[in-house]
Each structure stands twice: as C-alpha cells, then as structure tokens.
Structure 1
Amino acid sequence: GRAMKYPYTYTAKLAQFPYKFIMDNIWSFKYYLIAAVVTIPVFYKLGKLSYNPENVRKWDEKRRKKFTPGHH
C-alpha cells in the first residue's frame, strides 16, 4: 500500500519503526535484547525451583515457627 502521512495506530507505528537503524546504531538496544535472551531461561529455572512443593513446605514451616505467638 501507500505510505501514511502519520501512523495513527499502534500497529502502524510498530510497522514503520526503524528496527534495522536501531539495531545497527544503538548499542544499548542490542545488548538489552541479548541480555533478555540470556537471562529469561535463568529466571524461569529459578522460579521453577523456588515454587517447588518441597521448597514451599520448607518455607511455610520456617514462617510458622517465626510467626507463632510466644516466639521471640
């Protein structure tokens, strides 16, 4: 189609965004994307470990002991 004078919708703005220019000329954007790709699996694994049923039971027991009335 023909080019718009002004991209009014968010989809049009995304379609006309200069991704190649940004990737080629702005180092922080490139490294942000690399860091996100590298760290997402790490945080996913940490989340799976922290919500493991055995770990949840262990922390419930620690909180129960800590917040029981009469415990100092």
Structure 2
Amino acid sequence: MADKAVAEKPAGRPMKYPYTFSAKIAQFPLKYYLKNQWIWRYYFIAIGVSIPVFYKISKLSNSPENKAAWAAAQAKEAAEHHH
C-alpha cells in the first residue's frame, strides 16, 4: 500500500533550468503552443487541402500520354546532341 502512494506522487519539483534533452521535452508547454499559435491550426488544414492537389499533379505527370511525350522529347534531344 505504501509503495502505491509513493508511485502516484510526482517525484520532486521541476528543474529551474532543464539541461538534459529529456527534461526539456518533459517541461515543454506543447498544449500552450497548440492552442495559441495559428500555424498549428492551419498546418492540418493546409495538409488536407494540398493532398488532393498533389494527387492530381502526380496523376497528370505520370499519365501514359505524358510519359510518351517525355520519352519523345528525350529521344529528340539525344538525337540532336549526337549529330
């Protein structure tokens, strides 16, 4: 019983200056930044909006017609350099 009460109680107080990396991570006010900085809110919105755009671009650039046009352009350029 006594061991359980000791385990639930936080150990000591926070360091005045967290000089180890793990202490810096433990004391970082992540909730404050997520709540008060605009970039975090718009980051996820921007990802949601940009994924379909990048998918369309990828679909267009990897189409068989585009690959054939690129291969023709490369063959033409290679032929010009060899003559």
- What's the TM-score once normalised by structure 2's chain length? 0.56
Please give the residue correspondences for 1:14-53 in structure 2 after superposition, counting only pairs within 5 Å: 18=30, 21-53=32-64
Identity over aligned pairs, percent = 39
Distance 1:21 1:34 in 2: 19
Kindly report structure 1 stretches of 4+ aligned residues shifted beyond 6 Å.
none
The higher radius of gyration belongs to: 2
Distance 2:32 2:68 in 1: 51
The runs of 5 or more residues in structure 1 that have no matched partner are none
What's the Cα RMSD here? 2.6
The number of residue pairs the alignment matches comes to 59
The runs of 5 or more residues in structure 2 that have no matched partner are 1-7, 12-21
